[in-house]
Amino acid sequence: MPRAKKLLKRKQKKQSAGGSLKKEKHDDKKNKEQFCPDDITKPIPNGQRLWVIPDEKRPENIDYISIVERKKISNDVPSVSPTPLGPPAERKDAKGHEWRYYVHFVGRDRRMDRWVNYEQLRFAGPDLNIEEHHDNHGFDEQSLKNHEEATKVKNVDAIEIGPHVMETWYFSPFPAEYTKYRKLFFCEFCLKFFGLKSELRRHSQKCTWTHPPGNEIYRSKDQNIEVAMFEVDGGKEIIYTQNICYIAKLFLDHKTLWEDTTPFLFYVLTEVTPRGCCVVGYFSKEKSTELVSHGNNVACILTLPCHQRKGFGKFLISLSYELSKLEGKTGSPEEPISDLGQQAYNSYWKGVILDILADPKHEEITIHQISQMTSMTYKHIEQTLKALDIIQYDSSEGYMISVPNSLIKSHLDKKKRIAADKTRKYVRPADPKKVRWSPHHAKLIHKKARVAAQNN
């Protein structure tokens, strides 16, 4: 290329960029943040890898972390933590460092992320040989990057629902006027939320709700606990269903929160108490999925952390499959699904299949028959059989299910131990005889038929 054309092209590039190339290089160098651990007056740049002591009372425990965000500490910060389960107290370091840091524990889920003080950080530490966490949860690389950037710092540290205070795990897009509060207070019946405890007290004096605003479709009394299930239409109870989505997003990372809840039905599980029916968890599903022979029977599912390990998760999963049986189709949870949700589903699928194989009547059974009995998809049945290591391939007969007696015995013994512990609060999977429900599209058909009959 002739020199004159080179100069012209370079000049055009300068003008389009709004400045000279030398200035651009100088600005890039100026904007690049330098990290100097010896100078404690300067903040640590975002993305820097360090070590941290999460609990100052146990200095022997050290973790490898990455700096996600930082904020400068004002001189008028309180000397105590703003919430019982919130971050450590904001205080200036004894050395005069004026910054606090939001850190991600490398190789762990983002629910472990938290704010730490400068004195908890270490610039040298052991070689922990931690593998990076690369679960995209069904997102493409760019979408995952955008999601993590928008939700990198959780905006609420804790929530209070009834007598329970729970530390939150992730970011949830609450309205802007609530971003100044680090703890939110929820009414345990209508799920309206407030930034101050005094506001909740005034609301509680006027609130007349004692259960979710929907039709009760299930009630049972199990081991030291009574539960009731309500079907709530997202198109009719918009505020209630939006509020339950705000709560769910605090504990579910890779789920899209739809402001329009009209296309969804919400199945809210409650514990029956003298005060009323208190929410312990829920699952939702799209109304349109009822019109196809197979698809997702769950869009989102959650058991509140304060109510976990009581059987509520398996109950919600079992009820979703009981509804699929009434619809006469197979179903599966919508992906992506959280790591804890995947564990709950794997445990449920294994238990259901082992219950069937433990029955002497089912000495010979096919995957198709298991699917008809459980409404599980072929994919999940095959995955579960492989996880149990009880499916074998024979060159002459194809795949065969072979179950060792020790596996059946171990499964039945576990069920007996749970049933024998009379002091534990535990709810069993849904009993199909106690479900009082009909498909949503069937209700619409009957409604149209009644309207047509009245008009005639």
Catalytic positions: 334
End-to-end CA distance of the chain: 85
**DSSP track, 219-258:** EEEEBTEEEEEEEEETTT-HHHHHHHHHHHHTT-SS----
Rounded to whole angstroms, the Cα distance separating 331 from 325 reads 9
Helix (H) or strand (E) segment spanning residue 31? helix 21-31
Please tell me whether residue 348 adopts helix, strand or coil conformation.
Answer: helix
Q: Are 98 and 77 in contact (CB under 8 A)?
A: no
**DSSP track, 115-151:** EE-GGGEES------PPP----TT--HHHHHHHHHHT
Q: Are 429 and 280 in contact (CB under 8 A)?
A: no
Beta bridge partners of 331: 295, 376
What residues have CB less than 8 Å from 211, skipping those under 6 apart? 189, 228, 230, 270, 276, 277
Rounded to whole angstroms, the Cα distance separating 91 from 174 reads 27
* Block residue for tokens 């908890």: 120
Rounded to whole angstroms, the Cα distance separating 61 from 54 reads 7
Rounded to whole angstroms, the Cα distance separating 7 from 284 reads 63
Beta bridge partners of 283: 267, 301
Rounded to whole angstroms, the Cα distance separating 274 from 444 reads 35
Q: Are 322 and 430 in contact (CB under 8 A)?
A: yes
Q: Are 216 and 227 in contact (CB under 8 A)?
A: no
Structure tokens given for 166: 């729970």
Q: Are strands 330-333 and 276-286 parallel, antiparallel or unpaired?
A: unpaired
Structure tokens given for 371: 């699917």
Q: Are strands 294-298 and 330-333 parallel, antiparallel or unpaired?
A: parallel
Rounded to whole angstroms, the Cα distance separating 128 from 320 reads 42
Rounded to whole angstroms, the Cα distance separating 99 from 118 reads 7
